[in-house]
Amino acid sequence: MVRRLLRGERGPSGGPAMTDLLGVMESWSDGATTVRGESGELTTIALADIVTGKPVPPKPSVRLRVSPEEAERRAVGSWPPLVSEPLGEWRLRASDGFSSRANSVLAVGDPGRPFADALRAVRSFYADRSLPAWAQVVSGSEVDRSFVDAGWVPARPGEADTVFSLASVAAASRAVRRSARVDVLVEVSTTADPAWLADDARAASYPRAARTVLEGPAQIGFAAVRSEGRVLAKGRIGCGRDDDWAGITDVWVDPAHRREGLALVVLGRLLGWAAERGVSTVYLQVRGDNEPALALYERLGFMPHHAYRYLVPGA
């Protein structure tokens, strides 16, 4: 924030007129500074005209002001379960056992009934489908505490919570372009072919459910770097029909080809896919103890938004 004199003008009190400019200071030399305002216009200010100035923290991103509950509801569009039923604001999800997200109640918001009754409904829903009762909760939320008070415990003891990170598609794309290779071809298709699924033992255990969930979003892209029919690196992105949020999942690089920049190439193509469809926000989930991945994504503009975990009924 820079306050400066307006030469030749008088203020309301008869003294020199002044005005404030909020922006990013880009240079300071030769008796002048340049400030790029919020509109993008660059203004040159003589140092002699500066009355005062101070650093101002950047405004919190609009994306980061979205509640964890809203972010989790949006994320369902990129990983749609086979069966989905409302329980008030909660969402009961089942997919024959493929993946935790697609086989747990998304417990965010109000279940629309007394909590004990909601827990009975959750147990009944999963018992009817011969599945264990799991709940996905925002870590540290009121709902999380209510589950714990009711005797529910971590489904994976000792495992770190999952960090939900958000980024602007435009900003992340710029960050990737600065360091990604340009000599690698990345194919994108709307289906997960056998080569794309070859390394996924979890999908191999639930072939029908896995393909249905993976290919389920209204808009879906499977990216792959291939060589002689083999997939060397891959990733997936999906979103709802008219959603401007997309979720990135399944980023993977063949161990024999790691540290070759292939993950960045795949991410760049996925972000390009999002931009082509008018998506403004992209998100991904990373285990909280995967520090190298979290550091990489933060360098690309993905900021941690909240964390979530899974709970199961205690003994």
More confident residue, 178 or 314: 314
Find where tokens 């109640």 sit.
105
Residue 133's pLDDT is what?
98
Find where tokens 């993976």 sit.
214
Note the pLDDT tens digit of each residue in 169-225. 988 998 998 888 888 999 999 999 999 999 999 999 999 999 999 999 999 999 999
**What does pLDDT average to over the chain?**
93
User: Where residue 58 falls among pLDDT bands split at 50, 70, 90?
Assistant: low
Q: Minimal CA–CA distance to 294: which of 127, 161, 130, 187?
A: 161
Contact yes or no for 102/94 (Cβ under 8 A): yes
**% helix / strand / coil in the chain, to the nearest 5?**
30, 35, 35
Contact yes or no for 224/187 (Cβ under 8 A): yes
Instruction: Provide the total of helices (H) and of strands (E) in the chain, helices listed first.
Output: 9, 18
Percent of the chain past pLDDT 90, that is, above it, reads 80
**DSSP letter (8 states) at residue 161:** P
Contact yes or no for 34/47 (Cβ under 8 A): no
The rounded distance, in Å, linking the Cα atoms of 140 and 195 is 40
The rounded distance, in Å, linking the Cα atoms of 243 and 315 is 41
Contact yes or no for 303/166 (Cβ under 8 A): yes
Of the ranges 91-105, 126-140, 170-184, 219-233, which one carries the lowest mean pLDDT score? 170-184
Tokens of 108: 């965010």
Average pLDDT value for residue range 15-35: 90
The rounded distance, in Å, linking the Cα atoms of 234 and 224 is 4
Find where tokens 């919570």 sit.
161
Residue 62's pLDDT is what?
63
The rounded distance, in Å, linking the Cα atoms of 101 and 214 is 12
Residue 254's pLDDT is what?
95
Tokens of 140: 């540290």
Note the pLDDT tens digit of each residue in 228-281. 989 999 999 999 888 889 999 999 999 999 999 999 999 999 999 999 998 999
Residue 103's pLDDT is what?
98
Residue 57's pLDDT is what?
62
Cα dihedral sign, 238-215-290-70: positive
More confident residue, 295 or 61: 295
Task: Tell me: pLDDT of 56 over 80.
Answer: no
- What CATH number labels 162-307? 3.40.630.30
Residue 23's pLDDT is what?
86
The rounded distance, in Å, linking the Cα atoms of 45 and 5 is 9
Total Cβ atoms within 10 A of residue 49: 16
The rounded distance, in Å, linking the Cα atoms of 172 and 242 is 21
Task: Tell me: pLDDT of 127 over 90.
Answer: yes
Q: What residue segments make up the domains of the chain, in order of their start?
A: 2-53, 63-154, 162-307
